[in-house]
């Protein structure tokens, strides 16, 4: 059970402190996606500050 200090009354929910990004884990998940080894297809193309622009272009080119 989370402590009361982790509860944010303004949001009405518990919060976890920010954690550093694990690039090794993200690379592994990306490899799983590229190899088709996930349980399901990705929900969409990569996005956000960690997305590789070349990979995004490749995915969009394959979709056409």
What pLDDT does 18 receive?
Answer: 85
Residue 41 domain flag: yes
Residue 7 domain flag: no
User: Which 8-state DSSP code applies to residue 32?
Assistant: H
Residue 49 domain flag: yes
Spatial contact of 37 and 30, defined as CB atoms under 8 Å apart: no
Residue 9 domain flag: no
Task: Find the domain containing 29 and state its range.
Answer: 19-63
Average pLDDT over residues 3-21: 84
Spatial contact of 46 and 55, defined as CB atoms under 8 Å apart: yes
Q: What are the backbone angles phi and psi of residue 59, rounded to the nearest 5°?
A: -65, -40
Q: Has residue 2 got a pLDDT over 60?
A: no
19-53 pLDDT per residue, tens: 898 999 999 998 988 888 877 766 777 777 667 76
The total of structural domains in the chain comes to 1
Residue 47 domain flag: yes
Taking the complete model, does pTM exceed 0.95, yes or no? no
Residue 32 domain flag: yes
55 CB contacts (<8 Å, ≥6 apart)?
46
């Amino acid at each position: 059970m989370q402590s009361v200090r982790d509860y944010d009354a303004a949001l009405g929910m518990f919060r976890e402190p920010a954690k550093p990004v694990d690039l090794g884990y993200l690379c592994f998940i990306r490899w799983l996606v590229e190899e088709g080894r996930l349980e399901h297809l990705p929900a969409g193309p990569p996005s956000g500050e960690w997305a590789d622009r070349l990979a995004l272009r490749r995915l969009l080119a394959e979709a056409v």
